[in-house]
Amino acid sequence: MYKEIETLLATLEKTGKNYDIEKIKKAYRYASELHEGQFRVSGEPYISHPIAVAEILAGLELDTDSVCAALLHDTVEDCSDKTNLDFIEKEYGSEVALLVDGLTKDVQFNVADKEEAEIENLRKMLIAMSKDIRVIFIKLCDRVHNMRTLDAKPEAKRRETALETMHVFAPLAHRLGMQKIKQELEGLSLSYLDPIGFDEVRGDIDRKYGQNRDFIERCRESVSAKLNEYNIKFTLEGRVKTVYSIYKKMYNQNKSFDEIYDFYALRIIVDTELECYTVLGIMHEIYKSIPGRFKDYISTPKPNLYRSLHTTVIGHDGIPFEVQIRTREMHQIAEYGIAAHWKYKSGGIKSREEVDRKLEWVAKLIETNDETMDPDEFLSTLKIDIFHDETFVFTPKGDVIVLPQGATLIDFAYAIHSAVGNKMIGAKINGAIAPIDSIPKNGEIVEILTNSSSKGPSRDWLKIVKTSEARTKIRQWFKKEKRSENIVVGRSEIDKEFKKYGRAYTDAQRSEILTNVATRMGIKSEDDLCNTIGYGGLSVSKISGRLKDEFDRIVLPTVQTVVKTPEQIVTQMPTKRHKSGGGIIVDGQSGCLVKFAKCCNPLPGDQVIGFITRGYGISIHKHDCPNIKNAIERGEDNERFVDAHWDTAAQIEAGQTYDAFVQIYAVHNLTLLADVSAALAEMKVSLLSINYQTKADGDVVINLSIACRNLEHVKSIVSRLKAVNGINDVRRGFGS
């Protein structure tokens, strides 16, 4: 009955921990029942995935509830018609239900808002993680198995998943100190994102290791003999640097493979912290050390709890290698991070509060993003606060303040306390006065100069600071102290947005627009909306769509026309012409907002027609656009067509460019993309996007989005591209 989970049960037994096996079996049976008839893309029964996730999790020696949640983690999301969180809580307890809820995506999405929905789901997961860190342990194990089985997915999905893993989950594993999982995620992601580069570096590793295959072993013998002389009990490990870490160093530091000094490494694991420093002295006695290559992460641990001594030395063969020295406890934390501390029920950790203290950064991240719900800013904050490397800066008293790389002295001040930041008037680095936007370096001593009579932070600081903590504390100060000023600033920002619409409006109309937008966003009043914009809690760009909707509805009068068909539009010349945006002249209404239809992408020189949309101005189409033809044939909304044509003189004056789509049919060759790019560069044509597809017969189709001036310009581009070697045909548009 339990054949599918035999490996999982064996793994649990090896840990020696007292698992509730019957509860785990019950969770397995229930998950199997719910996932019955569901299959992965590879064709395997879906239940194989949660079992694999639970097996990876068991390797971390987490508790019974974590293993049950791993088995059940997809049930609520994928089997919502059969189960729910209430039932999970009733049968398996509140902790299992909390974990499953944290792993369940709430936001469903369509293509248009997919990215925003994914960010919201990530936010939800982090909020759950701040309540119970086991959520992210399970999610990381889930991602590891998905990456291991990614070959079954289409290429586009493989790249998308690998990119998300590289940008979000691998750095998150690093921030939690889970190096084994981080390294596996990075290696798998790179193999999909740059398979050629991955294979090249792996080939270089095999070549170099083959040339010096016994180097590590000779070093092990030499070091072991010396440590035995000092009667030190130790464990010695040798390793070769991972493909991804070498790839990253070569790319970031523009180095060749032969310039990677820490290709080889020895790891020496001892019993006590004192022995770590003793071994360090012994290593420097045996080998010559490379200046500037020593790091003491024992006295100054990394924020992810990592502690170790690092030094780089020159071996007797003249080959440099890195030495890592740590205790056994440090080694467990280096491999498994905060997961190594998760021993609530086995007595391996003093208290739940101790783990919570180690995870204050998670709660702080969520707290500082409560006010700013904009997904783009949230992701930006995440990348800075979690995924950037750290800088260790000291206060004059010797306390260590950890900042993300690139953080300023203002960030440093707010990291100490909000009162210090709010009263900041200057700063010193190593005793010398420094501008407050300076970026401190590792090991520098920073002193913040304050004055109780300070007027508080400047709004410009919001553009300078890098951390969400500093940005939020500055906003909180303005929100509390400068409400009336915020309202004025916010209203001014909105007026700037309204000026883009090219229509006069009254104060009463503006008030009605802002009240309606505030209501749609759940904000109490117009003043509250302006206040939020004024102190930086919300950007105008993020509500521009709502503002435009209301502006068009309230300010723009209804446009009416009796035109019925495109033929009538061509023959009926307007009695009065008014210019509107984009170099288009539209009959009957001055200042009408126009947008160019994405279905046909009209260019100056094309015959065009206007279509009055509901709330979005006038959509401009090519006269032979299939969508327009279909609408005419159906006889629907003919009264909404309006005459439109290009204003050539205005177009020349503005020098405006338009998006155009070009489809290339070609024979595959290695230099094809380079030749196309070179041709476009020679013509000084901006390439906006590119998509490359391989057909069943081996030929390729390349879809380009380019910026061009008019119809003649795109024709000349098409003609030039046809001359590129290997290209069979070039057509405007994506249609066949």
Residues tagged active-site: 77-78
Percentages (nearest 5) of helix, strand, coil residues in the chain: 50, 15, 35
**How far out from the chain centre does Cα 658 lie?**
30
Distance CA 422, CA 64 (A): 47
What CA–CA distance (Å, rounded) separates 202 from 666?
32
Q: How many CA atoms lie within 13 A of 130 on its CB side?
A: 15
- The per-residue DSSP string of 197-261 comes to HHHHHHHHHHHHHHHTTTHHHHHHHHHHHHHHHTT---EEEEEE--HHHHHHHHHHTT--GGG-T
- Residue 308: phi, psi to the nearest 5? 180, 160
Place of tokens 């503005």: 654
Listed in order, strand segments (DSSP E) in 623-679 are 641-642, 644-646, 658-666
* Residues paired with 310 in a beta bridge: 295, 324
Amino acid type, 649: A
Do the strands 264-270 and 320-327 form a parallel or antiparallel pair, or are they unpaired? Answer: parallel
Rg (the chain; Cα; Å) = 31
Query: How, if at all, do strands 594-596 and 618-622 pair?
Result: parallel
Cβ contact 401:416 at 8 Å: yes
User: 10 Å Cβ neighbour count for 670?
Assistant: 6
What are the CA-CA distances from residue 239 to residues 60, 179, 471 (Å)?
22, 14, 42
Helices and strands: H and E segment counts in the chain = 33, 22
As given in the structure block, the two tokens for residue 595 are: 């947008």
End-to-end CA distance of the chain: 54
Quote the CA–CA distance of 533 and 527 in Å, as a whole number: 10
Please give the C-alpha separations between residue 297 and each of 223, 235, 686, in angstroms, as whole numbers: 22, 20, 48
415 — alpha (psi -120 to 50), left (phi > 0) or beta?
alpha
- Please report the DSSP string for 56-110 in residue order: HHHTTT--HHHHHHHHHTTHHHH-TTT--HHHHHHHH-HHHHHHHHHTS------
If one counts every other C-beta atom within 10 angstroms of the C-beta of residue 504, the result is: 9
Give the Cα separation of 58 and 105 in Å (integer).
Answer: 24
Closest CA to 704 of 181, 727, 712: 727
> Kindly report the CA angle at 134 between 129 and 138, in degrees rounded to 5?
100
Handedness of CA 650, 655, 660, 662 (dihedral sign): positive
Give every CB contact of residue 250 below 8 A, 6+ residues apart in sequence.
Answer: 201, 256, 257, 260
